[in-house]
Amino acid sequence: MYDTAEQTAQDHLLHPDLDERGRQVFAKHLRQFVFGPARAAAQGAFAQRVAPALAKESPQAAGDRRRVREALLREPEYQFFSDLHRVSQELIWNSTADSVEREAPRLREQFLALRDPQGSLRLDPQLQVPEYLRRMDTHCMPGSYYTEWTADDLSNGALYDRGGFLYTPGAGPAGDGAGRTSLEFLRTHVPGYTPKRMLDLGCGTASPLLAWAREFPQTEIHGIDIGAPLLRYAHLRAEQQRVVLHLRQADAAATGYPDGHFDLVTSHIMFHETEADAIPPILAEAYRVLAPGGILLIVDLPDAGRIPDVFQQVVFDGDAFYNNEHFWMKMHDLDWPAQLQRAGLRPRASRSDSHPCRCTCPRPRSHRAAGAPAASGFSRPWRARPEESARCRT
Ligand SMILES: C[S@@+](CC[C@H](N)C(=O)[O-])C[C@H]1O[C@@H](n2cnc3c(N)ncnc32)[C@H](O)[C@@H]1O
How many angstroms is it from 76 CA to the middle of ligand 1? 35
- Ligand 1: residue of 147, 267, 270 to mutate (most ligand atoms within 8 A of CB) is 270
Q: What is the pLDDT of residues 133-175, one digit of tens each?
A: 998 899 999 999 999 999 999 999 999 999 999 988 777 778 8
**Residue owning the nearest CA to atom 12 of ligand 1:** 202
Residues of the chain with pLDDT > 90: what percent?
63
Q: Is 143 close to ligand 1, i.e. is its CB under 6 Å away? A: no
Q: Is the pLDDT of residue 351 over 80?
A: no
How many angstroms is it from 122 CA to the middle of ligand 1? 16
**Residue owning the nearest CA to atom 10 of ligand 1:** 270
Closest CA to 88 of 133, 132, 161, 39: 39
- Closest atom of ligand 1 to 175 CA is 9
SS (H, E, C) the chain: CCCCCCCCHHHCCCCCCHHHHHHHHHHHHHHHHHHHHHHHHHHHHHHHHHHHHHHHHCHHHHHCHHHHHHHHCCCHHHHHHHHHHHHHHHHHHHHHHHHHHHHHHHHHHHHHCCCCCCCEEECCCCCCCCHHHHCCCHHHCCCCCCCCCCCCCCHHHHHHHHHHHHHCHHHCCCCCHHHHHHHHHHHHHCCCCCCCEEEEECCCCCHHHHHHHHHCCCCEEEEEECCHHHHHHHHHHHHHCCCCCEEEECECCECCCCCCCEEEEEEECCHHHCCHHHHHHHHHHHHHHEEEEEEEEEEECCCHHHCCCHHHHHHHHHHHHHCCCCCHHHHHCCCHHHHHHHCCCECCCCCCCCCCCEEECCECHHHCCCCCCCCCCCCCCCCCCHHHHHHHHC
- Closest atom of ligand 1 to 207 CA is 9
Tell me what pLDDT residue 170 has: 74
Q: Does residue 12 or residue 198 have the better pLDDT?
A: 198
**Residue owning the nearest CA to atom 16 of ligand 1:** 274
Q: Does residue 392 or residue 293 have the better pLDDT?
A: 293
Q: Does residue 172 or residue 267 have the better pLDDT?
A: 267
Q: What is the pLDDT of residues 11-48, one digit of tens each?
A: 668 999 999 999 999 999 999 999 999 999 999 999 99
Q: What is the pLDDT of residues 90-144, one digit of tens each?
A: 999 999 999 999 999 999 999 999 999 999 999 999 999 999 999 889 999 999 9
pLDDT confidence bin for 3, thresholds 50/70/90: low
Q: Does residue 332 or residue 262 have the better pLDDT?
A: 262
Q: Is the pLDDT of residue 251 over 70?
A: yes
Across 57-85, average pLDDT: 95
Q: Is 268 close to ligand 1, i.e. is its CB under 6 Å away? A: yes
Across 290-298, average pLDDT: 90
Tell me what pLDDT residue 338 has: 85
Q: Are strands 290-300 and 358-360 parallel, antiparallel or unpaired?
A: antiparallel
Tell me what pLDDT residue 304 has: 66
- Between the CA of residue 75 and those of 158, 165, 176, what are the distances in Å? 38, 31, 37
Q: Is the pLDDT of residue 256 over 90?
A: yes
Q: Is 133 close to ligand 1, i.e. is its CB under 6 Å away? A: yes
Q: Which domains, from first to last, does the chain contain?
A: 167-393 (3.40.50.150)
Q: Is the pLDDT of residue 376 over 60?
A: no
- Closest atom of ligand 1 to 139 CA is 1
Q: Is 252 close to ligand 1, i.e. is its CB under 6 Å away? A: yes
Across 363-374, average pLDDT: 33
- Ligand 1: residue of 225, 247, 275 to mutate (most ligand atoms within 8 A of CB) is 225
Q: Is 178 close to ligand 1, i.e. is its CB under 6 Å away? A: yes
Across 200-205, average pLDDT: 98
Q: Is 130 close to ligand 1, i.e. is its CB under 6 Å away? A: yes
Q: Is 248 close to ligand 1, i.e. is its CB under 6 Å away? A: no
